[in-house]
Structure 1
Amino acid sequence: MDRLTDAGALVELLGDWTTAHGPLYRKLAGAVAKCIDAGDLRAGQRLPSERDLAKLLTVSRATVVAAYDELRGGGLVDSLRGSGTRVATRARPKSSGSDGRVPGGRATSIFQRLVDGPGEIISLAMAVEPAAPELTEAIRDLAGTDLDDLMADVGYHPRGYPPLREAVADHYAELWLPTTPDQVLVTTGAQQVIGLVAQMYLRPGCTVIVESPSWPGCLDVFRAAGARLVGVPLDEEGIRPDHLAKAFADEKPVLAYVMPTFHNPTGALMSTGRRQRVAELAAKFDVPVLEDNAYTGFVSRDGVAALSPIGAFARGNAEILTVGSMAKAVWGGLRIGWVRGPSAIIERLARYKVRADLGSPVLDQALTARLLPKLSDIAAARGDILRQRLDHLQNLLTDRLPSWRWRTPDGGSALWIELPDTSAQIFAQVALRHGVELVPGSATDPSGGHDNYVRLPFTLPSDVLTELVHRLALAWNDLRRHGPVGEVPGPII
């Protein structure tokens, strides 16, 4: 790994370090110290050179030199001629979580934002919205009719609340994927499915095929299990089948992870023909496929009808697990997801699930069972709002940042934007000082193939989108001048 890549990894760990108080060099020193305390930087580990770190942070080299001096004064780093600056061998991390930091990984800044809240910046780490109004109606309806019967329930359903499993089965039947309740496992969100699948399938040194780019939170789960990630490129129809076949043949993976419906972050909708081809390749090479359709409830630009999951095309020995969730379609606080697959595989996954939490909250499952039949109507209502916000954001970008390039997504919640001849990691540091937190493309692609991309959610209200683009334009102009930006402005929101 070259030193610039090392610097990039450190920049991701630092997060929104410029929003702290004090001189710039002390903010940087404090952020590095937190990484050492959290154990993200280990004793003896070499830090990036002053020049490389200054380049990615878009600060002067003197700022980094002063920060390293501050850390040396605190006994946290040592510098020796010819060997650079390293974390001091006497530096020891504090107990895990004692500093309030989320453990390291490519999605660290995203998950850290969930913990910390938005603060004084416009954070694009998450594409979230308030709850759909149908959720309030479902809560009132549940309280007024079925609550007594529900309270008489035992409350433990490791495989899922039976009425919800039946509702999920009916949902897939409408998508031409015949399903029985014993083929469904209810989970605490789609993210838990990823974790359970990783526990069951992955071992240190194994290979997982992923799309390039992909969702950082899932990539972190696979890495934590010791897997080696191999990326396969996308086109406008989804994952490239020619590259996928080659990866299956050459890499002998134990799992493939894809997002066919409104891919995150590109917003692409995998075509029916492409879904069928992925299922055929899965059967031919005997590779289990995990298809994540957590964005199913979002709007399609051209009103594309709901497509059958990849699992609907499974033939022979194809082992395909289909994931769904209510978090994106209805509300992030409704942490209910599910996975559909062969009954024998679901039975095995249920054993991991019961060991994890004995079962997801029954009240949430009962609400989901009521909402799932209305999912298409909920998506349609949200779609009108999202289309307006998407059009507004694209018009603003065309006017203020005409050199940026993107493809209007088929659906989902964000634009995937290519920055001309610019590292997104570098631009993210400049944007942060203008009050915007970006997720650079390097977090989505371990190969480095999307280092000049950023993800811009359009779920924010129109007035916030207007202010967002204004700040991004200021940051872009500053970066074009090749000069480090000064201190963080005062309170922003």
Structure 2
Amino acid sequence: MSGEVDRFQHGAALAMLLGDWSAGDGPLYRKLADAVARAVDDGSLVAGERLPAERELSRVLAVSRATVVAAYEDLRGRGVVDRRQGSGTRVNGRRRIPRSDGRVRGGQGTAIVQRLIDGPGRLISLGCAADAGVPEVAEALRAVADHDITELLRDAGYHPRGLPALREAVAHHYTTQGLPTSPEQVLVTTGAHQALVLLAEVYLRGASAVAVEVPSWAPCLDIFRQHGVRLVPVGLDDEGVDVHALAEALTGTTPALLYVMPTFHNPTGRLMSAARRRQVAELAARHGVAVVEDHAYAGHSLTVDETALPAPLAAYAPESGEVLTVESLKGIWAGLRVGWVRGPAGIIERCARRKAMADLGSPLIEQAVAARLVPRLAELSRARCVVQRRQLAELEHLLRQRLPEWTWTTPDGGSSLWVRLPGGHSADVYAQLALRHGVEVVPGSTMDPTGQHDGYFRIPFVRPLEELAELVSRLASAWTELVRHGPHEDLPLRPVV
């Protein structure tokens, strides 16, 4: 049987697909059966697909095995699945293949993206680590309306490479950081996510592997998975990606790309040292591997003075190295969907052609706003970090007070804590109980395919202080239920005759 129809044998993958399946009234086994049936009806589960074994799914969903058995029997009675001894439980191959309904599918990270589309509802979602926009965005917008709009309207409006003023501002931004850059080396994108998509299209045609840090952010990994490549995991140490493990990975295979987050890594918040950046750049160049450095959280310093931050990894690369630097204005406001990629002019041109085919260029008014903000990035980041340090301190205080057995390392930067559950508890199981207490947890299994971080999950702290208190209260209630009572017992009522 192909991997396509066996992709949900592991309960964690199916749990992510089902999302908040336990919400609402009624017995759990019926709600579980309904959620699986919906996934089949909308095409998320395909004909012939094997579902997890009863014991495996009950473990991950934190319910009794009898609940899963009852749900599977309910599905069999509806004709949704077939159950055969030795073959397991599979989606009925005779069911009509539905048309796509446009829902986001793919790897485990796509459930996080789908939550952005659906909206959080009653949940506090830990899938998103973005704060409200800064007031300076409004100031820049007014300045564009007062001073720039007339000149912009004289333009035809198509700039696939990006508004020249913004490309110049980004080039100056990197030059002042010790990475000399010209506007020809900059492509403006609709957020950093599009930059990664374009780079994947350029580098992964016919490729077999991408080397990635583990853990790493699941939606980014899914961009690579969609090209059918194998992810080669490389672990971290206190200075960032483990250079010895990286050397071993690059010696054993020749990946098309190495994907790293050197400045406040997501989800650990670690800062890669300058010495480590040089080692990584030189090692990748020696093996002929291009590096994509993602600076999604570059402006989120918590324990390090912004002026003491190392230059981008590209600044340490030898002439033979190929490093692409991806960044955005997410730290200013995620709603300002402006990002960019900086790299060799030839690669930037190839990415620009693909962007032109996708959207003919990002909206110019947003880029004009960004052009006014990029020169102020350091100033705006310092102001925002003052607020984020208070938020981090409050979250750590609440966790020590309510959940003293949980452990974490205070991050160098970023917007989240990377928390480890004690006693070998699975974050996949805890995530299911947390859902029933109104919190969507993204477990470590989605960020590390090796299984080494199954007991971890990420808690973003960039939210109002009163919401942090409610969040920790819900997390503590879910933890108490897991420790005291374990999986939920939920059996269908059967008459006794």
Deviations along 1:200-235, one digit per CA (max 9) or x if unpaired, are 111356110000101101110101101100111111
In the alignment, structure 1 residue 452 sits paired with structure 2 residue 455: yes
Letter of the 1:483 counterpart: G
In the alignment, structure 1 residue 85 sits paired with structure 2 residue 86: no
CA RMSD of aligned residues (A): 1.7
- Aligned-partner Cα distance in 1 for 2:96–2:39: 11
Match of 2:274 among 272, 275, 293: 272
Pairwise CA distance, 1:485: 4.2
Deviations along 1:302-356, one digit per CA (max 9) or x if unpaired, are 32433210111121210000111002x1111111110111111111111111111
Q: 2:73 matched to which residue of 1?
A: 69
Where 1:455 maps in the other structure, the secondary structure is strand
My pick for the range that moved more, 299-308 or 409-418, is 299-308
Letter of the 2:376 counterpart: K
My pick for the range that moved more, 51-60 or 2-11, is 2-11
Letter of the 2:87 counterpart: S
In the alignment, structure 1 residue 125 sits paired with structure 2 residue 127: yes
Letter of the 2:180 counterpart: P
Equivalent pair of 1:106/1:443 in contact (CA under 8 Å): yes
Equivalent pair of 1:160/1:187 in contact (CA under 8 Å): yes
Pairwise CA distance, 1:61: 2.0
Equivalent pair of 1:38/1:103 in contact (CA under 8 Å): no
Match of 1:461 among 450, 459, 464: 464
Match of 2:318 among 309, 315, 320: 315
Unaligned runs of 5+ in 1: 488-493
Q: 2:63 matched to which residue of 1?
A: 59
Equivalent pair of 1:36/1:92 in contact (CA under 8 Å): no
Where 2:247 maps in the other structure, the secondary structure is helix
Letter of the 1:70 counterpart: D
In the alignment, structure 1 residue 212 sits paired with structure 2 residue 214: yes
Match of 1:22 among 20, 26, 46: 26
- Aligned-partner Cα distance in 2 for 1:205–1:10: 28
Pairwise CA distance, 1:413: 0.2
Against the structure 1 CA distance between its residues 254 and 205, is the aligned structure 2 distance closer, same or farther, given a 3 Å change threshold? closer
Letter of the 1:208 counterpart: V
Equivalent pair of 1:202/1:225 in contact (CA under 8 Å): yes
- Aligned-partner Cα distance in 2 for 1:309–1:18: 44
Match of 1:158 among 160, 172, 179: 160
Q: 1:430 matched to which residue of 2?
A: 433
My pick for the range that moved more, 195-204 or 222-231, is 195-204
Q: 2:290 matched to which residue of 1?
A: 288
Pairwise CA distance, 1:257: 0.3
- Aligned-partner Cα distance in 1 for 2:25–2:344: 54
Q: TM-score, normalised by structure 1?
A: 0.95
Equivalent pair of 1:123/1:436 in contact (CA under 8 Å): yes
Equivalent pair of 2:306/2:382 in contact (CA under 8 Å): no
Where 1:406 maps in the other structure, the secondary structure is coil
Against the structure 1 CA distance between its residues 388 and 256, is the aligned structure 2 distance closer, same or farther, given a 3 Å change threshold? same
- Aligned-partner Cα distance in 2 for 1:314–1:81: 57
My pick for the range that moved more, 292-301 or 420-429, is 292-301
Where 2:145 maps in the other structure, the secondary structure is helix
- Aligned-partner Cα distance in 2 for 1:379–1:370: 15
Against the structure 1 CA distance between its residues 67 and 47, is the aligned structure 2 distance closer, same or farther, given a 3 Å change threshold? same
- Aligned-partner Cα distance in 1 for 2:143–2:351: 32
Letter of the 1:423 counterpart: S
My pick for the range that moved more, 43-52 or 447-456, is 43-52
Where 1:85 maps in the other structure, the secondary structure is strand
Pairwise CA distance, 1:69: 2.2
Equivalent pair of 2:9/2:50 in contact (CA under 8 Å): no
In the alignment, structure 1 residue 187 sits paired with structure 2 residue 194: no
Against the structure 1 CA distance between its residues 335 and 3, is the aligned structure 2 distance closer, same or farther, given a 3 Å change threshold? closer
- Aligned-partner Cα distance in 1 for 2:61–2:182: 53
Letter of the 2:156 counterpart: V
Where 1:19 maps in the other structure, the secondary structure is coil
Equivalent pair of 2:8/2:14 in contact (CA under 8 Å): no
Match of 1:405 among 395, 407, 425: 407
Equivalent pair of 1:478/1:485 in contact (CA under 8 Å): no
Deviations along 1:21-43, one digit per CA (max 9) or x if unpaired, are 43322211121112212333221
Counterparts of 1:36-435 in structure 2, within 5 Å, are 36-97=40-101, 101-203=103-205, 206-305=208-307, 306-327=309-330, 329-420=331-422, 421-435=424-438
Q: 1:35 matched to which residue of 2?
A: 39
Where 2:434 maps in the other structure, the secondary structure is helix
Pairwise CA distance, 1:93: 3.6
- Aligned-partner Cα distance in 2 for 1:228–1:431: 32
Letter of the 1:478 counterpart: E
Q: Number of aligned pairs? A: 484
Equivalent pair of 1:203/1:227 in contact (CA under 8 Å): no
- Aligned-partner Cα distance in 1 for 2:7–2:351: 41
Q: TM-score, normalised by structure 2?
A: 0.94
Deviations along 1:352-376, one digit per CA (max 9) or x if unpaired, are 1111111111111111000001111
Pairwise CA distance, 1:81: 2.6
Q: 1:491 matched to which residue of 2?
A: none
- Aligned-partner Cα distance in 2 for 1:332–1:360: 15
Question: Deviating runs (4+, > 6 A) in structure 1?
Answer: 1-4
Deviations along 1:153-211, one digit per CA (max 9) or x if unpaired, are 11100111100000000000110000001011111110011111111111356110000
- Aligned-partner Cα distance in 2 for 1:182–1:52: 53
Pairwise CA distance, 1:91: 2.0
Q: 1:490 matched to which residue of 2?
A: none
Deviations along 1:406-464, one digit per CA (max 9) or x if unpaired, are 00000000000111111100000011111111000000011111111000000111111
Letter of the 1:299 counterpart: S
Deviations along 1:245-286, one digit per CA (max 9) or x if unpaired, are 111111111110000011000001111111111111122111
- Percentage of pairs with the same residue: 56
My pick for the range that moved more, 277-286 or 16-25, is 16-25
